[in-house]
Amino acid sequence: MSVRIIPLPERTDARGTMYPIELPFREVAETHAGNLEPGHVRGNHFHPGGRELLVVLYASRWTLYWDTGEGSAVQSRVFEGQGGVQIEIDPGCAHAIVNDGEKELQIVSMADVVPVTVRRVLITAG
């Protein structure tokens, strides 16, 4: 079980910025798009039976927390500045995103099966 973090290359021109995304699975069974306001947390859960892909577009600081299964150490990575990142999450790996910056995050989530979500708290806001 693992979590893979892949920085997305920027393709910027006068119209704005695009980020190419490579899907780690053939079929997408469920997709969500949304935002995360500063000072809040999304996640604190895992999916026992399917993989998830998160795409995060950011313009200020945020932190990703994850583990590699129940009882494993919680890991974290801080992102600063502006950019896009692709996060590939294996079944059983809990994950949470904290927006500890000043601007909202844009998040797209895709799963290879309709996920069952099980709560496992890694971090709380504040």
What are the pLDDT digits (tens) for 88-110? 999 999 999 999 999 999 999 99
CB 1 within 8 A of CB 79: no
pTM: 0.94
Nearest to 39, CA basis, from 106, 96, 97, 101: 101
> For the chain, what are the domain ranges?
3-9+28-119
pLDDT above 70: residue 120: yes
pLDDT of residue 126: 64
Rounded CA gap, 39 and 82, in Å?
A: 18
Nearest to 64, CA basis, from 85, 91, 90, 37: 85
pLDDT of residue 125: 75
Q: 3-9+28-119: which CATH topology?
A: Jelly Rolls (2.60.120)
Strands 62-66 and 118-119: unpaired
pLDDT above 70: residue 21: yes
